[in-house]
Amino acid sequence: MDTLVLQVLNSLFYASILFQIACGLTLIYGVMRIVNLAHGNLYALGAYVSGWVLGLLATPGTQPRMWFFVLLLAGAVAAAAAGAILEPTLLRPLYKRAEEYQLLITFGLLLILEDLMHMVWGPHPLTSSALPDLLGSSTILGATYPNYNILVIAIGFVAALGVWAFVYRTKFGVILRATSQNMRMAAALGVNVKRVYVQAFTLGCFLAGLGGAIIMPISGAVLGMGIEALILAFVVVVIGGLGSLEGALVGAIIVGFVRTLGIMYFAEIELAVLYLIATIVLLVRPAGLFGRA
């Protein structure tokens, strides 16, 4: 029973991180029809900025404090700020171009961000492994599990609920959905489409940065983490359906459970199994489980 509990909790932990990355990716695509290949390194940027900010306070002899957890939001804010700058300067001029131009510019941004993080923080990982120790562990049905991981699961749940309420229960959410369905009609009715685009892109980047920030104390901020996260996020959105928030949630849960089982039972072909599931979904439902053609 304790092994089963640990596997379920670990699956939900991975799913929480993957949902935040994939939710930001699918939100940007759903509104702007941009496949943002730079999204993975915006996730990594959130991890690096959070690790750097916490590192500035962790002077020798200084013990982490509970309020240090609030500083994790610095990574999410930094990723959102980067998104607010990148959308109007680099992406907006390409909206009327073919999709290939958008893919090329976001792929270029992926490489540029990777090199910038290397230049600023160097090749060594940044981490704050003492931070999760502050919360200790809990015993759940006979299994001992870190409270920080439970906090990450809770953050993922709150993020899912918050994004759903924001999109489907607010006035701005109505404007957001109207813009995604018919941009020209929304503009004709007086909607400031440019402002909606930059806000949607900023929100998507915030979610990616938040995912990187909260995973940093566990796995650290390392070069290449953004590309790995981007691959898994694309598997999530392929399964769930690109542009569907419900699909991002279900896809993240599926990938989280499969990845946890894969690490435990068939580590050698873990990624292959994920790609196989994505292939089967594409063959049966080309738009994904919740996507629309």
Q: CATH number for the domain including 56?
A: 1.10.3470
255: in domain: yes
Consecutive H or E run containing 140: strand 137-140
Domain count, the chain: 1
Structure token pair of residue 281: 């979904």
Separation of alpha carbons 106 and 280, rounded Å: 28
Total length of the chain: 293
293: in domain: no
292: in domain: no
26: in domain: yes
Structure token pair of residue 174: 């109505």
Separation of alpha carbons 20 and 40, rounded Å: 11
209: in domain: yes
Structure token pair of residue 248: 């991002």
Question: 137-140 and 143-146 as β-strands: parallel, antiparallel, unpaired?
Answer: antiparallel
52: in domain: yes
pLDDT of residue 64: 64
CB 153 within 8 A of CB 223: no
Q: Give the structural domain span for 253.
A: 2-284
290: in domain: no
Separation of alpha carbons 8 and 10, rounded Å: 6
pLDDT of residue 60: 56
User: Tens-digit pLDDT profile for the chain (293 aa)?
Assistant: 677 888 999 999 999 999 999 999 998 888 888 888 999 999 999 999 999 998 887 665 566 677 778 888 999 999 999 999 999 998 988 887 888 888 899 999 999 999 999 999 999 898 887 888 888 898 888 888 999 999 999 999 999 999 999 999 999 899 998 998 888 899 998 999 999 999 999 999 999 999 999 999 998 899 999 998 999 999 999 999 888 889 999 999 999 999 888 877 777 777 888 889 899 998 998 888 887 76
Structure token pair of residue 219: 């796995």
Q: 204: which residues sit within 8 A by CB, 6+ positions away?
A: 23, 24, 25, 27, 28, 36, 39, 83
291: in domain: no
